[in-house]
Amino acid sequence: MSARTGTGPTRLFRVVATAEAITWAGLLTGMFLKYVTETTEVAVSVFGMLHGIVFIAYCLTTVVVGIDRRWSASRLMLGLVSSVPPFMTIWFDRHVEKAGGLSDSWRLTTEPPHGAVERPAAWLLRNPLQGAVAGIVAVAALTGVALLVGPPVG
């Protein structure tokens, strides 16, 4: 997750936003097979879990990129909300790039962090191996909490 490894904010955000959209497609396909054709529930189980994991990863990635790029609160919220409707993460990725909100390098790997929010983000980005492990642990922990809470009602 650092400029040293070649994974800047634009590339990381695009990969995770695209993965979120792909898992949405898989989940929608699974729902079609389960509820319309009534042929199988397997795809809902598989893509439901995958989509949940990638959804959480997208939200965490959005927060880290938003902190690094100094997005406004409204841009950050739009990025997070774009994870709810199917395929909107792709739109948000293109939208924020056109608006100049992405970059090929991490600001916080070279600039000093300011404030309590930037300090942990800077540490994660300056220590890419530990940052990646922390990200995986955070996604796993939040996925565990989501499983304990149960599936969305709707």
20-62: pLDDT as tens digits: 999 999 999 999 999 999 999 999 999 999 999 999 999 999 9
The CA distances from residue 6 to 48, 69, 78, 106, 117, in Å, are 31, 17, 27, 10, 24
d(CA 47, CA 115): 38
Burial 14-49 (b: 16+ CB within 10 A, else e): bebbbbbbbbbebbbebeebbeeeeeeeebbeebbe
- What's the alpha-carbon Rg for the chain, to the nearest Å? 17
Neighbours of 118 (CB within 10 A): 18
pLDDT at 7: 81
pLDDT at 89: 98
pLDDT at 84: 96
Mean pLDDT of the residues in the chain: 93
- More reliable by pLDDT, 4 or 21: 21
- State percent of the chain over pLDDT 90: 92
d(CA 121, CA 119): 5
pLDDT band at residue 151 using 50, 70 and 90 as cut-offs: confident
pLDDT at 150: 84
User: Which H or E element spans position 13?
Assistant: helix 9-31
Contact 75, 13 (CB under 8 A): no
- More reliable by pLDDT, 119 or 1: 119
CA atoms within 13 A on the CB side of 100: 0
Read off φ and ψ for residue 86, nearest 5 degrees. -55, 135
d(CA 63, CA 123): 14
Q: Stretch 72-99: mean pLDDT, rounded?
A: 97
pLDDT at 152: 66
